[in-house]
């Protein structure tokens, strides 16, 4: 692999790490300043809403296909249904996402094979 690829991977890894680490450090310092006992109720209220808002944003972006044609919408629908069905069965987070992505990929390939463009 080339040096530029390794540098890109390192930058992505460092960025991902810092995105998680910096808010944690910030909250720990804030909680210690506000309350030496570091109780959970000392957390700001907006922080409790941040996680669900981010999940809703990712879901909203995921529901719009990259290509706004019939095959993109159909593959998105298949992926969404697969995600929902696996979630209903397992009530977990990782497996439904993996299943939805896999079914979306299979649907794109199958639709492309059955109805070639042009």
**Confidence band, pLDDT 50/70/90 cuts, at residue 43:** low
* 32 and 88, same domain (yes or no): no
Question: Number of structural domains, the chain?
Answer: 2
Average pLDDT over residues 81-105: 93
Rounded to the nearest 5 degrees, what angle is found at the Cα of 63, between the Cα atoms of 107 and 9?
Answer: 80
Mean pLDDT of all residues belonging to the chain: 86
Kindly state whether residues 56 and 26 are assigned to the same domain: no
DSSP 115: S
Residue among 60, 71, 84 nearest 118 (CA):
71
pLDDT over 60 at 90, yes or no: yes
Which of these ranges, 60-64, 104-108, 114-118, has the smallest mean pLDDT? Answer: 114-118
Q: How confident is the model at residue 39 (pLDDT cuts 50, 70, 90)?
A: low
Question: 82-92 burial, b for 16+ CB within 10 Å, e for fewer?
Answer: bbeebbeeeee
Measure the CA–CA gap between 99 and 89, rounded to whole angstroms: 12
The rounded radius of gyration (Å) of the Cα atoms in the chain is 21
What pLDDT sits at residue 37?
63
Tens of pLDDT, residues 76-88: 999 999 999 999 9
Query: Is residue 74 within 8 Å of residue 106, measured between CB atoms?
Result: no
In this predicted model, which residue has the larger pLDDT, 36 or 9? 9
Band of pLDDT at residue 33, cut at 50, 70 and 90: confident
Is the same domain home to 20 and 78?
no
Residues 25 and 62 in one domain: no
| Residue 12 lies in domain | 1-43
């Amino acid at each position: 692999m080339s040096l530029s690829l390794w540098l890109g991977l390192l930058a992505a890894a460092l960025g991902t790490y810092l995105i998680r680490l910096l808010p944690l450090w910030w909250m720990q310092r804030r909680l210690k300043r506000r309350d030496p006992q570091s109780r959970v109720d000392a957390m700001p209220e907006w922080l409790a809403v941040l996680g669900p808002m981010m999940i809703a944003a990712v879901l909203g972006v995921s529901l719009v296909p990259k290509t706004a044609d019939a095959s993109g919408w159909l593959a998105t629908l298949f992926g969404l249904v697969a995600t929902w069905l696996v979630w209903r069965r397992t009530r977990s987070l990782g497996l439904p996402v993996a299943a939805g992505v896999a079914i979306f990929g299979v649907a794109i390939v199958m639709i492309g094979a059955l109805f070639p463009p042009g």
